[in-house]
Amino acid sequence: MFTFQWVWFAVLLPLPYLINRFWKVKRNQANQINPPHLRLITIQRAQQAFQQGTITPLSKSYRGQCVALWLIWIGLVFAVMQPQWIEQQTVIKQEGYDLMLAVDLSGSMDNADFFLPTGERVNRLQAVKSVLTPFIEKRIGDRIGLILFANHAYLQAPLTLDNLAVINMLERAEIGIAGRDTAIGDAIGLAVKKLRERPEKSRILILLTDGDNNAGVLQPEQAATLAKQYGIHIYTIGVGSQENTGNSGFNAQSLQNIADTTQGRYYPASDLHALNKVYIDIDSYLQRSTAESRVYIQRTPLYHYPLIIAMLALLSLPLLQRRTD
């Protein structure tokens, strides 16, 4: 489909005619008030005039120059109007879901009670990063967001298809940047705010925490009820070492209630192997649905064509001026 982006610039097309029309009237009126003086030409100037030829309004040179000038003006105006060719619209329906990750950065996440396959001892946040990174990389076609919380909850990355950007933001997350306590309810509430406008049946929240709710304004149970109203499924993960099972810090019953309320699941992750199985299970359990429809419009600019016509007409003016009848 052919169209103009700035079609209203077409009002400039008759501008030269209007200027010529009304300028003549003003010029004639000025001549009536101040009649021109009689000037005698010299023989030398008369010879030059006859040698160069004359151009009259009825001559071919005059008509050619007028056509060239109009082509220049019309070409420039059409170029400013931004002509463009729009390809047929393509609608792409993308299979996936909107996945928000809420990661606990409270002080207890600094407990080094996890072991990497190499035998290196790492804290809970490092263990979460080591497993969460490949999980995010596999989420092709899904929109992923990142919430970091401690005393307060912050949206670190909005829902996006750029998985690499989410991974980079997760890698830069540090313990204590949001405080030392745990505001689970506020984290869920912030996730609900960002997910409620997304398509239904594709709103997922994965909550990772190693503590009990002891900060924030919203209680976890209230936030879970709010998430249920918007059809958001919450998968809760209690991060804690097997060797500190009795003193892991997270409230397993509260996390279980949050998952049950929103028709999600609760996973206790006591070591790195168990944490890795959590994400494998989530990856296989979730069923993708049509999360989003995108409309792509291919626009091909055509302004250079009228611009070329205007330039050719401009280059032809010197040739027309030399032409005589």
pLDDT at 50 over 50: no
Mean pLDDT across the chain: 79
**Residue 218 shares a structural domain with residue 233:** yes
**Residue 100 shares a structural domain with residue 58:** no
**Residue 161 shares a structural domain with residue 197:** yes
Task: Write the pLDDT tens digit of every residue in 126-180.
Answer: 988 988 898 888 888 788 999 999 999 999 999 988 889 999 999 999 888 888 8
**Residue 231 shares a structural domain with residue 302:** no
**Residue 73 shares a structural domain with residue 118:** no
CA-based nearest residue to 139, from 117, 167, 177: 167
Based on the structure, what is the number of domains in the chain?
2
| Cα–Cα distance, 237 to 251 (Å, whole number) | 11
Three state DSSP letters for 204-234: EEEEEECCCCCCCCCCHHHHHHHHHHCCCEE
**Residue 249 shares a structural domain with residue 151:** yes
- Asked whether the beta carbons of 183 and 151 are under 8 A apart, the reply is yes
**Residue 115 shares a structural domain with residue 250:** yes
**Residue 105 shares a structural domain with residue 77:** no
**Residue 184 shares a structural domain with residue 44:** no
**Residue 143 shares a structural domain with residue 220:** yes
**Residue 34 shares a structural domain with residue 82:** yes
Q: CA dist 241 to 96, 208, 218, 225, Å?
A: 33, 14, 28, 29
**Residue 310 shares a structural domain with residue 288:** no
Task: Write the pLDDT tens digit of every residue in 169-213.
Answer: 999 998 888 888 889 999 999 999 999 888 776 788 999 998 788
| Cα–Cα distance, 236 to 267 (Å, whole number) | 6
Domain harbouring 100, CATH code? 3.40.50.410
Structural domain of 25: 2-87+298-322
